[in-house]
Amino acid sequence: MNKIVNSLNRSGHDGFMAGITLLLLLIFLNISCKKGESPVLTTASISNITGTSATSGGTISSEGSGAVISKGVCWSTSEDPTIKGNKTTDGVGAGPFTSNISGLSGVTTYYVRAYASNEYGTGYGMVLTFSTLVDKEKLENEMIQNYLNNNPTQNFQLKSSGLYYRDIVIGNGNYAQTGDTAYVKYTCKFLDGTLFDTNTDRPDSLIFPVNEGFLIAGFDEGVLYMKEGGKAIFLLPSKLAYGSEGYYTIAGYTPLLFEAELVKLKRHN
């Protein structure tokens, strides 16, 4: 009789354990097979296009089945950009966001779309396309480098500001200082040798307070390296001249070459 009872007890215990095992297996399978939804979003229009950068972004209309943990835009020269390639990272959460795209190549077609990721996956907005402009800054740098390569005897000193400076004649007077009144004769040319402006054919010198912001930055800086009675050449990249916008007939991103003579220097009291 005891053997029968023990046998029944073991059978009941084994059945109970089998039931528990089956229940745990079903729970595991249910969790494993559970699928959530990725975020839903749109891609913002492309703007502020230059030779190396652009602006886009997106709007997340639904975070899906979980909170958005990463968002931005991804781009490529192929038609199907993904987050495995180039991308921005622009925070978390739903709503609109702006993305600044950089490091692009000039005159190139790109494909871009917004993305947002949650714990279940990544959602993408529609793919938009745009073409970058001519990289004028790169062209300017190449123009300057070509000039330097073609004029190796110039021996310019490259200053930390980006100004290229060379003494022709070192004057016998004092160095110019901020606030001094300078009397300067000058000739300005483009790097191809075309004359842009000069006052050497006029009796009056250019008179201005040194380093007080009355002239373009590169010319002001160049005079500071001169002694009274000296002559020098300044090669100004556009950032020290008329910048990306240019000035009247001078186009943006145009480097300038000045030959200057510091005729007279009136010390500031």
Q: What pTM did the predictor assign?
A: 0.63
Specify if 32 maps to a domain. no
What is the structure's pLDDT at 120?
Answer: 95
d(CA 170, CA 230): 5
Specify if 19 maps to a domain. no
What is the structure's pLDDT at 20?
Answer: 60
Q: For residue range 74-123, what is the model confidence (pLDDT) as tens digits?
A: 999 999 999 999 999 999 999 999 999 999 999 999 999 999 999 999 99
Residue 241's CATH number: 3.10.50.40
Among 104, 131, 158, the domain-final residue is 131
Q: Are residues 182 and 260 in the same domain?
A: yes
What is the structure's pLDDT at 267?
Answer: 87
d(CA 108, CA 25): 55
What is the structure's pLDDT at 33?
Answer: 47
Q: For residue range 144-160, what is the model confidence (pLDDT) as tens digits?
A: 999 999 998 889 999 99
d(CA 60, CA 43): 9
d(CA 15, CA 187): 103
Residue 126's CATH number: 2.60.40.10
Q: For residue range 24-46, what is the model confidence (pLDDT) as tens digits?
A: 554 544 544 457 899 999 999 99
Among 112, 131, 150, the domain-final residue is 131
CB atoms within 10 A of CB 18: 10
What is the structure's pLDDT at 39?
Answer: 97
Q: Are residues 143 and 255 in the same domain?
A: yes
Q: For residue range 223-256, what is the model confidence (pLDDT) as tens digits?
A: 999 999 999 999 999 999 999 999 988 999 999 9
Specify if 231 maps to a domain. yes
d(CA 233, CA 222): 8
258 forms bridges with which residues in the sheet? 188, 234
From the number of C-beta atoms within 10 Å of its C-beta (0-12, 13-18, 19+), residue 114 rates as buried
Are residues 81 and 111 in contact, defined by beta-carbon separation less than 8 angstroms? yes
Are residues 242 and 254 in contact, defined by beta-carbon separation less than 8 angstroms? yes
Q: How confident is the model at residue 130 (pLDDT cuts 50, 70, 90)?
A: very high
d(CA 113, CA 102): 15
Q: Are residues 123 and 197 in the same domain?
A: no
What is the structure's pLDDT at 268?
Answer: 77
pLDDT at 15 over 80: no
92 is in which domain, residue-wise? 40-131
Specify if 5 maps to a domain. no
Q: Are residues 206 and 251 in the same domain?
A: yes
* Structural domains counted in the chain: 2
Among 76, 106, 131, the domain-final residue is 131
Q: Are residues 64 and 94 in the same domain?
A: yes
Q: For residue range 190-220, what is the model confidence (pLDDT) as tens digits?
A: 999 999 999 999 988 999 999 999 999 999 9
Specify if 30 maps to a domain. no
Q: Are residues 145 and 197 in the same domain?
A: yes
Specify if 53 maps to a domain. yes
Q: For residue range 52-72, what is the model confidence (pLDDT) as tens digits?
A: 999 999 999 999 999 999 999
Q: Are residues 53 and 126 in the same domain?
A: yes
In a 3-state reduction of DSSP, which class is residue 126?
A: coil
Q: Are residues 252 and 151 in the same domain?
A: yes
Are residues 92 and 67 in contact, defined by beta-carbon separation less than 8 angstroms? yes
Specify if 75 maps to a domain. yes
Q: Are residues 140 and 247 in the same domain?
A: yes
Specify if 2 maps to a domain. no
Q: Are residues 175 and 222 in the same domain?
A: yes
Are residues 119 and 36 in contact, defined by beta-carbon separation less than 8 angstroms? yes
Q: Are residues 60 and 167 in the same domain?
A: no
Tokens of 50: 């230059």
pLDDT at 187 over 90: yes
d(CA 105, CA 127): 19
What is the structure's pLDDT at 153?
Answer: 87
167 forms bridges with which residues in the sheet? 232
d(CA 244, CA 160): 20
Residue type, 4: I
